[in-house]
Structure formats: structure tokens, C-alpha cells
Chains A and B, each alone.
Chain A
Amino acid sequence: MTAAPLSFDRQRNWWAVHTRTAYLFRRTSRLVVSLVLLLTATFFMIHLVPGDPVRAALGTTAPASLVAARRAALGLDKPLVTQYVDYIRNILHGNFGTSLVSGEHVTDVIRARGPSTFRLAGIAFLVVIGIAVPLGLLMAALTRDSKRRRLELGFTATAGALAAVPSFLTAVALVFFFAVKIHWFPVAGQGGVSSYVLPIASLAIGPIAALSRIVRVEGLRVLEQDYIRTARGKRLPARIVYVRHALPNTLTPTLTVAGLLVGGLVAGTVLVENIFAWPGLGTSLVSAVAQQDYSTVQAIAVIFGAVVLLANFAVDVALGAIDPRSTILDA
């Protein structure tokens, strides 16, 4: 019983490593297929527009020569297959073409405005995780074993209502109270730290409510498990029981939901940026849609779509790495 189990273990580790690699390969190929589908869909978008998008963008008064020149500049006069190949090649080189309306490079717009948007969404994401996970776990600890029914009811009702209110309404309410009534924060614009507070709060409050509810339910499930009784049986302080023994076991579902939240946060920026006059991609997107600047819309669609796909990919890879049983690897 000395050497045999070890070699057996080595074999098991070998398998473990290889299922992990296989999983990574499967997941990566799914990401690539998804990205190709995203690019294809956005490519055809401009061709689905009824009528002539260039004419629509430049207006009916634009001279025919200008429309033809813009069409040529965009390559819209080439065969479809050539356009498609050019489109993919250009995007892979970071070239998103030129704006239908202003003629400037869309890549420049993205470079100038993208960081603002992703800073907003990124900080909001961290705030959501940083508040929702401890809050949900605390609620689970307080309401376990059917204790404190009133607190439980109050929490689920409040969180349920907050989760249902969309970010733009939260934003209006926050602006009303904190900017108009008590002047704590600026109404709009990007400036110092204080200008970030309201936009991030508008983005984060709904997801915090939704995620903390899920964490609480998940926490209650974990706290009922036998291994928590074992931990209590070891007479560990409550802090260690919750943080070391319960928290890691709530991580898998929490991360899964958090991955879904990224999409919602990115979408939320579009509305929130418009309310707070934030110089990001969301404001660009809305004005581009209004001006029928299809190439800019297309580029922002690619960027947002890719961010969502990459976030889901990152979550899945993280789940495969942290879950010791790696149940996800077989999926």
C-alpha cells in the first residue's frame, strides 16, 4: 500500500490534466465559432438595410457622385464575397472602416471612447461582486434554519423590486435625489471620482439585488450541507465556517450568474451613458443609430458582442479551473 496508490494517482492526474485541455479546446473553438457568427451577422446587417444605406446616411440632397464615391470608399460596389473577406480581414487588423456620415475612422472613435465605457462597466462589475457576494452570504447566515422570517421577507421583497427596476429608471431616481435635491454628486459629465458614483450606482444596484438573492439561496443550500456541520463540529469560529467552508462552495453558481451580468452591464452602459452624458461608446451608438451611420453601429456591435462572448468564455474557463471536481469539464 505504499507505491501502488501513488502511481494510481499519477494516472488520475494525467487524466485530469487532459480532460482540462480537452475542455479548454472545446470551449475555445466554441468561442471562435461564436465570434465568426457575430462578424457574419454584423456584416450582413448593412446589407439588410432597406434601400441604399449610403444614400440614407448622406441624405436625399447629397449629389449622386458623392454617394458613389462613398460607396466605392466603403467597398460596397465589390462582389459580396470580396466584401466579406475584406471585412473580416480589416477587423482582424483592428480596422473598422470609416463612418458613413462623417468619414472619420471608426477605429479612432472606438479608441477614444471605448476606455470610458469599459471603465464604467468594469468598475460596476467589481462593485456588484464586491457587495452582492458578502451581502447574500450574510443574509444566508442570518436567515438560515428559517430564522428571522421578517428580515428574509424584507430582503427578498426589496431585492426583487430593485432587481426589476431597469438602470435608466434607477439613474433618474438617483439623479433626482443625489444631484438635484442634495447636490452630493454632479448631474452629468465625466470628471473626477465623484462623477463616477451615480453612473456606477445606476448600473450596479439592479445586478447587486439580483446576484445577492441568488447568493443567499445558494448560501442557504450550502449551509445545510453535511460538511458545514463537520466544520461546526470542529468548533471553528463562525467567520471561518462562513468564509473558508461556505464561500468557496457558492462560487460556481455565483460566477455563472456574474458572467451573465456582464452582458447586462454592457447593455446598461448605453442607457446610463446617455443619461449622464458620458463620453463613451453608448452615446456614440445612439447618435450613430439616429444618424443611420451604419458602419459605426456595425463596429460598436462587434465590440460589444465580442466583449460579451469573451466575458462568458473567461467565466467558463475560470469555472473549469477553480471547481476541484470540475463538473463543468464534461459539459
Chain B
Amino acid sequence: MGSSRIAQALRSPVGVVASVGLLAVIVLAIAAPLIWSGDASRIDILHASQGSSSAHWLGTDALGRDILYRVLVATRLSVVLAVLAAAIGAAIGIPIGAVPALFGGRVGRLVTGLINLAVAFPALLVAIFVASIIGVGAHGAVVGIAVAIAPYFARLSQTLSSSVAGSEYLAAARMIGVRRFRLLTRHVLPNIAEPLLITSTISIGDALLSLAGLSFLGLGVQPPRYDWGRMLNEGLNRIYVNPEVALGPAVAITIGALTFALFGEVLAKAAGAGGARRWLRGELPASTVAAGACDGDDVLAVEDLTISFPGGAVPVRSVSLRVAPGEIVGIVGESGSGKTLTAMAVADLLPAAAHVSAAKLCLFGSDPRALSASQRRRLLGRSLAVVYQDPMSALNPALRVGRQVGEVSEVHHGISKRAARDRAVERLRSVRIGSADARARQFPHEFSGGMRQRAVIAMGLMAEPKLIVADEPTTALDVTVQQQILRLLRDVTVSRSSAAILISHDVAVVSQLCVRVVVMYAGRVVEELDVDTLVAGPAHPYTVALVASVPTMESKREQPLASIPGRAPTPYDDIPGCPFAPRCPRASERCRAEMPPLEQHSPTHRAACWHPVNVLEKAAV
């Protein structure tokens, strides 16, 4: 970890608290016995066992000694013993943990097994047992705790050194015959020093707590010496009469231990810093409700849909989309063009951070934003089906497939679990899953990718969907399976006369299934056309390039595949003109300055381009 990163971490609020606390504890440990030993050991029988007073803030003990002074003076013994225990524990554990990496083979496995076994036992119990062998007292407690935490150091150094052991330079060092001890000191340890140091700091805090625990049980520091645990022990007997006598040492133990733990955490954060970028920060106003009148019999009508995220990303800009009953509409575009977000906005499945605004949003004749949560759930649950991109992750691994498919009907049609299962089996059969009854009892991991996608489709068919949103339903599948799934999707839409939105980056897939196609680029609709026009010759240069990039049987094999040079703008870029202009061969000054509107070319064809590819040129191409 760079020293600048540590400095930065220490300057954070938590870092300041930790460093100030640590400094205070160290100063107290050094100075308190020098200044206050006399006060701490002054016996005053007349004022024995008193509660808090102005003379003795935390009261006095059985011999009339001031408890506040004793707590302060006890800092040294408590901290020194803790540091000692942690150091001995590290000295025992770290070399043992390095053994597997250095020796490997049977010895390594044996040591690894023993470390795993030792870690399983609670540290405090190990400490008590070892302390009982060595003998009750400070010695026994320190050694006991050292032995108890050694396995944790061993485990850490084992994992760390095994990652170093696999590295190239260690192999090289071994190859040129560097001796094992030298390997350990020169090559392994320096590379794992940082996390070990952090762990050591944290384990001083643990050792402090354990020592206090042992002393508290009467198994640690013995009178006349005293540490915080010992004082807590003496105080607890009087908790009824003078609770502050017990609370003083208790607070000292807590602060002492937390200081070391916190300091270690700060160091660990500094070491692990970088990469923890949170772009979803800040709040946006809730999605704007501008419920326009929903008339007409379109299944879906969206106008001016814009989706933005906190941080300034606007991945979808002013998109309008209509889907008539029974119509299959395709949305094509490269990844990042906003097509999936558009569909998920329609399905009300965007992440909560997304901010949606639309001049008009009508689904099955009503604006879902104007409905109550339960009305919306009912409307979407019964009429909308979604097929997801990755069937491997879209099914819940912990639930049987039959249950996952069936629960739609349990919830939305109020039928029994058993009836829902029967219906699920029937739907699984209808998407051509063989031995559906047995399959329904299986878990998703027992299904192939294509079968999982069938199951997801079956899930959507549990209700009678009026609209199926399929988000790249074949992208994650084998080419041979793709065709089956596409055919199945077409069959179910046609047989149930439901409408569908098919999202794909593949023009070929879309032209196979759809009647009408919407082309999206950089969050905008750039062209809307029927499939015949798409094949015959689109107007927007982007669509032309997209179609040209699809290899056909006639493509000459010696020619490289057509590709579009350059890259699409990011959702953060706010471009005044046409977003495709930087990559467009036909772009003019106007394109860069002004966004072209969607221009009607024919009743079924609109394109947003200042310089559309015209029919004559098409003939020439």
C-alpha cells in the first residue's frame, strides 16, 4: 500500500478517530505509570469501597485506592501483554502457515489440515486450556492467547503464501536454487507483509479482549499486579452498590480494543482502496408522473420516454414506441443502444435508481404509473410476460422449476398450489419440454440452456399475456437451439394472438420474426420500418451498415465482413447533433449541430436523418 494512500485513509474522519485513539493509548501506556503510580497505589482504608465522588471520580477499591488512577496506570500492563501475545502468536503462526507453500506435497497438506482443525476451535477455550497447563498467571495467559491466535495467523499466511507460491518469480527463484529459508525471508514474506501487518494490528485488539477476559475470570494477571480485566473482576462484585467501579474498567477495555481494531480496519481499507467506485450515488426525484389519456386499442403506446441514472447517464432519450394487438415488433441496435432499458421500462423492471419520464405511457389502455401498486401488479402480472436474456441466471437455483413456473397462477389467479403445478406441467409440455412431469420436479441446474429458456417462456404463458417482451432471448444459446426458441416464440404469439417485442442485436433474428422493426442507436430511435423495407433498403446510414454487417450465403468469403468504424457515444455524452455523425460517411456540418427529427418516408417507414440513403442510390448499391 502506498504511503500516500495510508496518509489519505488516516485523514478520513474514521482514520482521525483511530489515530488519535491509538496515540492516546500509547501515550497513556508510557506515561500513566510514571505519573500516577503513587496515586494508584495509595491505600486509604478510611475511604475504602466508595462510590464515585469529587475526590474519586470512579470510586475506590477495597483498600481505598483510587480507581480512575488505577485504570489509567493499568493501560501499560493491559496493552503490553496484548502486544506480546499478538507478537508471539504471529511468530508461531506465520512460519507454520508458510510451510505448505515452501514444502508442498504431503507435509504441506498435513499442515494445512492441522491449521484448518485448529482454527475450528474457539480461541478463548484454547487459551484457557493452554494457560491451565502453563500455570495460572500473566505468563500463562499471554502464552495461552498466543497459541490460540497462532492458527489464525497460520491460516492467513498459508492462503497468502500459496498465492505467492504459484507466482512466476517464486518458481524462478526455486529454479535457480535459492534455499528455502531464503525463499521465505526474501521472496514470500515481503510479498505478504502488508496483510499480515494489518492482521497483527487487529489481533492486538483481540488479544487485549481475551486477556481482559482471562484476567476477569481470575486466570490472568494476579494481584498485586492489576490490569483492566482484573479490575473488572473486582468491580463486578460491587455492581449493585457502586456500578461505576465496574463500568470504568469495562469502558477502558472497550476503548482499548476498539482503537486497535479500528486502526487495523483503516489500514485494511487503505490497502484495499481503489476500484470501489459508486456511481449510483445521490438522489433523483421520483419518476415523473404525467399521465396522459390512454385511448386507442394499442397494446403499448410510449411517447418521449427518457431514462436517466444518478451520475448523469441518460441511456434512453425521447423514445416513442407503439405496438398494436398481435403485432411482433423488433428492436435492434448494438449493445448499449438502450433497447433493453426501454423494454424493461415498459415492463416496470428497471433498477430503483433509474429515473423514468415519458409524455405518454399506455399499457393495455391504462397508464401503469397512475395505478396503485396492487392494481399495477395485477395488470402486469396477468397481461405481460417477459423472457430474459440469460436463462442460466433468470431461474432461481434454489426452487424447483415447476414451482417457479406455477407460482404465477397461485398469486394472480388464486388457484391452489396443486392446480398451479398441474397447469405448470401442462405449459411446460406446450413449450415442448419432454417428460414435463418429471422435469417440473427438477432444479434449474438440471436443465440445459435451451430448456431453461423454454421454462421461462412457459412461465410467461401461465397467464394469458397480451404482450410478450423478449429481451435477447437467444443470445446466450447455441446456434442450433436459437432457431427452436425463435420458432417457439413465434408459435406462442401467433396461437395466443398476443403481441410481442423482440429485442436483439441481430438483424437476421429480428427480420425472421417481426413485422415491424425499430432501430435504436445511442439511446434514440433512428429508424422505424417494416421488414420488407429493412431487407430492400433502409434510409438511415446506420441501419444500412447494420444490415451490411450480416453475412449471408452470398457473402464472398475472401472479403472481410463489413463493420462499422468508430464507437458509439456513451450515455454520459450529451451530443447536440445526430449521435451517429462521427461514424457516418454521409455526415455534414448540419448533422453535427442539429438532431434530425423522425421523418415520415412511407406509412410504415420513418427515419431520423438529414441525408437519408435514397431509392436511386439504393439501386446503385
**Distance in Å from the Cβ of B144 to the closest Cβ of chain A?**
10
Give Cα A201 to B291, complex, Å. 53
| A233 and B397 contact, CB distance less than 8 A | no
Interfacial chain A residues near B232, Cβ < 8 Å: 168, 172
One of B36-44, B71-79, B98-106, B247-255 at the interface = B247-255
Which residue of chain A has its CB nearest to the CB of B405?
A234
A225 contacts B by Cβ under 8 Å: yes
| B133 and A45 contact, CB distance less than 8 A | yes
| A236 and B407 contact, CB distance less than 8 A | yes
**Distance in Å from the Cβ of A309 to the closest Cβ of chain B?**
7
Contact flag A235-B132 (CB < 8 Å), given A172-B239, A301-B125: no
Give Cα A42 to B435, complex, Å. 58
One of A70-78, A91-99, A190-198, A267-275 at the interface = A267-275
A257 contacts B by Cβ under 8 Å: no
Interfacial chain A residues near B393, Cβ < 8 Å: 225-227
B197 contacts A by Cβ under 8 Å: no
| A232 and B438 contact, CB distance less than 8 A | no
| B399 and A244 contact, CB distance less than 8 A | yes
The residue that A289 contacts in the complex, of B128, B280, B434, with Cβ under 8 A, is B128
The residue that B397 contacts in the complex, of A172, A227, A297, with Cβ under 8 A, is A227
The residue that B120 contacts in the complex, of A225, A251, A312, with Cβ under 8 A, is A312
Give Cα A267 to B240, complex, Å. 26
| B407 and A249 contact, CB distance less than 8 A | no
| B390 and A226 contact, CB distance less than 8 A | yes
B129 contacts A by Cβ under 8 Å: yes
B459 contacts A by Cβ under 8 Å: yes
The residue that A235 contacts in the complex, of B122, B131, B411, B443, with Cβ under 8 A, is B411
Interfacial chain B residues near A164, Cβ < 8 Å: 205, 257-258, 261
Which residue of chain A has its CB nearest to the CB of B446?
A12
| A270 and B128 contact, CB distance less than 8 A | yes
User: Would you call the interface of chain B mostly helix, strand, loop, or mixed?
Assistant: helix
A211 contacts B by Cβ under 8 Å: no
B386 contacts A by Cβ under 8 Å: yes
In B405-422, the 8 Å CB interface with A consists of: 407-408, 411-412
In B230-282, the 8 Å CB interface with A consists of: 232, 236, 239-240, 243, 246-247, 250, 253-254, 257-258, 261, 278, 280-281
| B133 and A180 contact, CB distance less than 8 A | no
Number of interface residues of B (CB under 8 A): 74
| A286 and B407 contact, CB distance less than 8 A | no
Number of interface residues of A (CB under 8 A): 72
Give Cα A235 to B128, complex, Å. 55
Give Cα A166 to B438, complex, Å. 52
Interfacial chain B residues near A81, Cβ < 8 Å: none
Give Cα A266 to B120, complex, Å. 12
15 further contact pairs, Cβ within 8 A, besides A145-B353, A226-B390, A271-B213: A50-B135, A145-B351, A168-B232, A169-B253, A175-B236, A180-B243, A230-B388, A270-B124, A271-B217, A286-B128, A286-B218, A304-B125, A305-B121, A305-B125, A325-B445
Q: Top 5 closest A-B pairs, CB basis?
A: A235-B381, A267-B122, A248-B398, A145-B352, A226-B393
Q: List 16 A-B contacts (CB under 8 A).
A: A145-B352, A164-B258, A168-B213, A169-B250, A172-B236, A176-B243, A225-B393, A245-B396, A263-B121, A263-B125, A271-B124, A274-B217, A288-B132, A289-B132, A290-B218, A304-B125
List residues of A whose CB falls within 8 A of some B CB. 1-2, 5-6, 9, 12, 34, 37, 45, 48-50, 144-147, 161, 164-166, 168-169, 172-173, 175-176, 180-181, 187, 225-227, 229-237, 240, 244-245, 248-249, 251, 263-264, 266-268, 270-271, 274-275, 285-286, 288-290, 292, 294, 297, 301, 304-305, 308-309, 312, 324-325
